[in-house]
Amino acid sequence: MLYEILKDNIIMQENVSDWEESIKKASNLLEKTGKIEKRYIEAMINDIKQMGFYVVITDKVAMPHSRPENGVKETALSLLKLEKPVNYGEHEVNLVFILAAENKEKHIGVLKELSDFLDSDERIESLINAKSIEEIEKIFKK
């Protein structure tokens, strides 16, 4: 299921200026395809400003998200893979996953599946070292 909701929502980029730009870039495809509203992007940024960098889920990985009522139209996941890490507080992050879930159950389901997937340092390093979107897709298909 993880690959199915992530495919077509993967972006590779050299770098971004800051964590806010990483959220905007990673969310761009989801907004363009109507899965989220612009206000969802603003809500994620405001949540981090208010609550800190709770979105860093493991070394080198952040998963910004907000509440469904803040502008989610359809459950979706996107990935921004950065060559150069961006700082989320004191954490350096190369992989920014945007989670948009229609409801609590879907949120927990996708979160669990992604957490299980990212439980492997080897997989995280493979994603960071990937040189193409196709290579990233293959890692998720395994």
Over residues 26-36, mean pLDDT? 96
For the chain, the straight-line distance linking the first and the last C-alpha, in angstroms and rounded, comes to: 12
Please give the CATH superfamily to which domain 1-141 belongs: Mannitol-specific EII; Chain A (3.40.930.10)
CB 82 within 8 A of CB 14: yes
The better pLDDT of the pair 110, 100 is held by: 100
Helix (H) / strand (E) containing 111 = helix 104-117
Determine the pLDDT at residue 46: 98
Task: Render pLDDT for 33-92 as a digit per residue (tens, 0 to 9).
Answer: 999 999 999 999 999 999 999 999 999 999 999 999 999 999 999 999 999 999 999 999
- For residue 120, the SS3 value is coil
Determine the pLDDT at residue 107: 74
Domain spans of the chain, in order of start: 1-141
pLDDT above 90 coverage of the chain, percent: 84
Task: Render pLDDT for 6-19 as a digit per residue (tens, 0 to 9).
Answer: 999 999 999 999 99
Determine the pLDDT at residue 37: 98
CA distance 77 to 14: 21
pLDDT band at 104 (very low <50, low <70, confident <90, very high): confident
Query: Could you please report the per-residue DSSP string of 49-91?
Result: HHH-STTEEETEEE--B--GGGTBSS-EEEEEEEEEEEEETTE
- Which amino acid, 29? L
Cβ contacts of 132 within 8 Å, gap of 6 or more: 12
pLDDT band at 134 (very low <50, low <70, confident <90, very high): very high
